[in-house]
Structure 1
Amino acid sequence: MAYYYTNVLSAAVLGFFFLFVVSGITFSEAQKVPGIYVFGDSLVDVGNNNYFPTLARVNYPHNGIDFPNHKPTGRYSNGKITADFLAEKVGLPTSPPYLSLTSMLKKNNPSFLSGISFASGAAGILDTTNKDLAISMTKQVKYYTTSVYGEVVQQLGASEALNHLSKSLFYIVIGSNDIMKYDRIHIKQQPEEFVDSMILTLKQQLKQLYHYGGRKFLLAGSGPIGCIPLQRHKNKTLECKQDVNSACLMYNEGLKSMLHELKSELKDINYSYFDTYNFFSNLIQKPASYGFSEVKVACCGLVDDIDVKHLCRRTSSYCSNRSDHLFWDPYHPSEAASRIVVDAVFEGPLQYSFPFNVEQLIAL
């Protein structure tokens, strides 16, 4: 795995080797953006959780079985995830995990210009969500503002760094773990109050990223968490848990309102909000249209498997027709699903993206 991430970093550095400095740094014609900075949870974690002690780790078979090297990489998937496919869309290597590079800072001065991923499996918006398992969103933002931002400024100079970051994508997928945590512990706080605390906290985090150069944001709303295999398994009929889905919808409405407010407060910020909930609901309702035949049961960790409440383990059984399954494990989408999602995120109809899809966001 170290070999793989070293190659990714080398690709990132080589990608900038031929950039020509005249009045400032530009990026190659093959690249649509100069960098992608990723924040969030297991849906976009490319391996950060491999670099600190945590139970929320998937660096073992059968994860990664369909990845190019057929080995686990720390991704919660049988293969690539949305962070990989988005990078491909814009002509960049996948942003490497931040924790894989921190030890190299003083020795090799790695380039953060093409992007970095801070995402951590089990992470939440709120610091109290899985605090012993993951890098919280607060800490991810702090890593960016106190370490990566400074390195970019050092390499490019203050003015060009801001120019570079203003053209880069800030990709954020977060909130699902907070909602699931609330559902599990049934805290005394009313759902509306809990969601409001999530939205207020995330708004402050986004403002921090803005004050440190971020201008173009891609944010994914919560999917229908009540329909993931783990939640379906709680019903004998394998139907979705509607109370959980209601919380997801509440959060999404709050997120959309907050982004609208943020745009009115910070005029030069732009964003694309992806309606994950309705997009995945469509996949579930019309699976054959997207090439799926199984949307209720996970490929790895089947409903009658003892591991159904856990992540895919070495001892878990797994399906042979992984491209037919919407879900890889009881929580996470398959590689096939992630590819379809990014196609919609990048160039899909505005039915699912507001107010722009990513291709339009990049062109601003």
Structure 2
Amino acid sequence: MRRRTTLTVSFFLFASLLAIAQQQERVDLNVIHKIKTAELGEGGGFGGGGRGGGAAGSKVMDTMYQLTDHYGPRLTNSPQFRRAGDWAVGQLKEWGMSNVHLEKWATGTGGGRGGPIPSWEITGYSGAMVEPTYMPIIGVPVAWTGSTNGSVTGEAVLAQIQTQADMDKFHGKLKGKIVLNSANAAGTVGPLDLPFPTAPLARRYTDTELTDLVPELLPTGGGRGGRGGGRGGRGGANANMTPEELQAFQTKLRSFVKDEGVLLTLQATARGESGTLFGGGAQNRMDTTNLPQVSITAEHYNRIARLLEHNVPVKLTFDIKTQFDTSNTDSFNVVAEIPGTTKPNELVMVGGHFDSWH
């Protein structure tokens, strides 16, 4: 009899706890069904409406189209960035979200790298090698750099300038030149090292590989590592400079190339291959007199560099049009809310980059 009583009490205690748990966190299967329908569509097919923008199904591809195709690259504070922000506000309101707005923030505060961010955009670009033979050059002007003010043509030169001694070496020799100045693995400005690709462009990490990556997530004090090997720390003669010393030298270098009459500079990186390039941005973003600078594909950079290493004169031509607007350096975040019902006083924040490189 005692055993039966204990069993009965235990059963009712378990049932009571289960009932309390269900009252505290009720699973709304109707909401789960709505989420599945929004992703898969009524018919259960992946993507639902797809690119056609049907009423049911995921809107991911429609959103990607608007941001990447319609409005295009969204460099911070650029006209494309602001137009895309206005579209996002309208779309979020259409989806029924609350308190949708652009939340302004000042780019020149908080100790951010480079200070204020002006509006900047590319309005025209063309580049080509015209001697010893013609070759269109795939490239993009570096963010916050200037225009050529019409088409310019000049001889290409390899020039690694990392010290005052380098400035003295090239003094009086760069007027009217187009300078290639990207360092390769050997620390020189010759052709970049491009290993032959043997791995697929994309694949899933194994469990072991994911485990091996964990220690790399901890900061070690080294340079930033980008995709495909990354840039790592600085190399060459200025590797041991403090950040303040490096900034002072780069300011001096910008003045040097301007005073020497350089037409523009070309850069490339081994991070890209098969036509992929990385644009990047100028350090002094508010300087509307920044020298034109173009990031070109590593393959085109290497062809020009190899010709120069074989003492073959190379002539290049560029026509670059960029536009600054320094009158408004405030940026914004796109903010929207989905009010809760069962726990209205709790917050779940989800965010991501709205801007992008150009």
Give 1 or 2 for the bigger CA radius of gyration: 2
Same fold, TM-score > 0.5, yes or no: no
Structure with more relative contact order (C-alpha pairs < 8 Å, separation 6 or more): 2
TM-score of the superposed pair, with normalisation by structure 1? 0.21
Structure number with higher helix proportion: 1
TM-score of the superposed pair, with normalisation by structure 2? 0.21
